[in-house]
């Protein structure tokens, strides 16, 4: 067995339908008496429930949640937290709301109770990102890790099917790469395998019946487990390709994950057989690349980079950029191999079984 180091992050998780109701108790547990509630417009109804549950412990609300945490918004929220003499933050929403709470915590040290309503997984990590002049500055700091997370599947039923499927495939990608990327270890693989199982079981059902609470529970469970594994390890070729395609060609982040993942798995298949056996077992299929491709199709997602607006004449440049910044990856990352992977993803063909 290979040597490894594993570090678990100290997070309290309260999971289940109706867990939002424990938000008052959970803030009390942290000794908070002046809570700043961070929730965007979409989350107003749930935020009202939180406000009522907090009662006199609610010091104020901040609603200007924007994608990718613009610095100006973070600074305003920090000033509001100081003015209100807040002693804790409750965030409710997707990665953007969690990200804003993290930006405030980074500056103030305030503890966060996070209530995620998408499958982004940001709530489980010490990673923060703040955008200024279109550049996203990211970093890691233990202060931004939420103290408590409330996962309530009932809050996710309003997430539209397309967004649910794409966000869920993004979570699946975190689990798949955790089995072979830097930092892989038996515990991460076990967590990733259960995450893959839950996501694959729940995603097609959630798309067909968005208010199926059991299916929503499976996918949210998978999202939590995906957040757990991205919090404690590195990334491989798949994530690097998605960063390049999103950053340089403006492709939609979560959908890009859904399109690229089957081809990244096919790319690595011969070089990481033990890791991809974990993925195959979790999917209940002996060809994980094909099974992931089919899952994307069954979840109604686009299957090709062409459909996402990728220009075909950008594929050479994309391959060069990926190779120039290649992370450690089971199969060596060479330009011809990446270009072939991108060609398959561009056309959206079902991956062929690797020898």
List interacting residues with ligand NAD (CB under 6 A). Answer: 40, 42, 67-68, 93-97, 99, 117-118, 120-122, 125, 127-129, 155-156, 158-159, 163, 167
Backbone region of residue 118 per phi and psi (left: phi > 0; alpha: psi in -120 to 50; beta: other values): beta
Q: Which is nearer to ligand NAD, 21 or 84 (CB)?
A: 21
Q: Which is nearer to ligand NAD, 206 or 282 (CB)?
A: 206
Smallest distance, Å, CB 159 to ligand NAD? 4
Q: Up-side HSE of residue 330: CA atoms within 13 Å toward CB?
A: 22
Q: How far apart are CA 62 and CA 263, in angstroms?
A: 41
Per the structure block, which two tokens stand in for 160? 């539209």
Smallest distance, Å, CB 164 to ligand NAD? 9
Q: How far apart are CA 242 and CA 245, in angstroms?
A: 5
- C-alpha distance from residue 45 to each of 41, 48, 52 (Å): 9, 5, 11
Smallest distance, Å, CB 227 to ligand NAD? 7
Smallest distance, Å, CB 41 to ligand NAD? 7
Smallest distance, Å, CB 170 to ligand NAD? 7
Q: How big, in percent rounded to 5, are the helix, strand and coil portions of the chain? A: 60, 10, 30
Q: Identify the burial level of 341 via C-beta atoms within 10 angstroms of its C-beta, where 0-12 means exposed, 13-18 middle and 19 or more buried.
A: buried
Reported as type and span, the H/E element at residue 168 is: helix 161-178
Q: Which is nearer to ligand NAD, 253 or 349 (CB)?
A: 253
Reported as type and span, the H/E element at residue 112 is: strand 112-116
The CB-nearest residue to ligand NAD is: 95
Q: Which is nearer to ligand NAD, 219 or 333 (CB)?
A: 219
Q: Which is nearer to ligand NAD, 164 or 303 (CB)?
A: 164
Smallest distance, Å, CB 69 to ligand NAD? 7
What backbone torsions phi and psi does residue 31 show, to the nearest 5 degrees? 75, 20
Per the structure block, which two tokens stand in for 130? 């703040």
Q: How far apart are CA 187 and CA 169, in angstroms?
A: 22
Q: Which is nearer to ligand NAD, 51 or 289 (CB)?
A: 51
Q: Which is nearer to ligand NAD, 68 or 281 (CB)?
A: 68
Smallest distance, Å, CB 121 to ligand NAD? 5
């Amino acid at each position: 067995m290979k040597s490894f180091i594993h570090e678990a992050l100290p997070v309290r998780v309260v999971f289940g339908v109706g867990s939002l109701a424990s938000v008052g108790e959970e803030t009390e547990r942290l000794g908070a008496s002046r809570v700043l509630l961070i929730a965007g417009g979409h989350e107003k109804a749930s935020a009202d429930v939180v406000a009522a549950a907090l009662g006199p412990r609610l010091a104020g609300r901040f609603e200007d949640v924007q994608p990718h945490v613009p610095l100006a918004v973070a600074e305003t929220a920090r000033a509001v937290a100081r003015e209100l003499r807040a002693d804790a933050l409750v965030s409710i929403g997707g990665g953007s709301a969690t990200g804003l709470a993290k930006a405030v915590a980074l500056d103030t040290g305030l503890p966060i109770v996070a209530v995620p309503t998408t499958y982004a997984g940001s709530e489980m990590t010490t990673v923060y990102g703040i955008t200024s002049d279109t550049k996203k500055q990211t970093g890691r700091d233990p202060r931004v890790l939420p103290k408590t997370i409330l996962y309530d599947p009932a809050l996710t039923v309003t997430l539209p099917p397309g967004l649910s499927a794409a966000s869920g495939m993004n979570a699946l990608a975190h689990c798949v790469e955790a089995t072979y990327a830097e930092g892989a270890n038996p515990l991460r693989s076990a967590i990733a395998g259960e995450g893959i199982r839950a996501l694959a079981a729940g995603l097609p059902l959630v798309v067909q019946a968005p208010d199926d609470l059991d299916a929503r529970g499976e996918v949210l469970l998978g999202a939590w487990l995906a957040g757990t594994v991205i919090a404690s390890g590195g990334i491989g070729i798949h994530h690097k390709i998605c960063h390049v395609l999103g950053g340089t060609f403006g492709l939609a982040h979560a959908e890009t994950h859904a399109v690229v993942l089957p081809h990244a798995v096919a790319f690595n298949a011969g070089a990481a057989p033990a890791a991809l056996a974990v993925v195959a077992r979790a999917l209940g299929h002996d060809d994980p690349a094909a099974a992931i491709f089919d899952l994307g199709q069954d979840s109604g997602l686009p299957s090709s980079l062409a459909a996402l607006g990728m220009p075909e004449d950008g594929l050479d440049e994309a391959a060069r950029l990926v190779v120039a910044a290649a992370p450690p990856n089971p199969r060596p990352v060479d330009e011809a191999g990446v270009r072939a992977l991108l060609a398959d993803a561009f056309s959206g063909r079902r991956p062929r079984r690797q020898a």
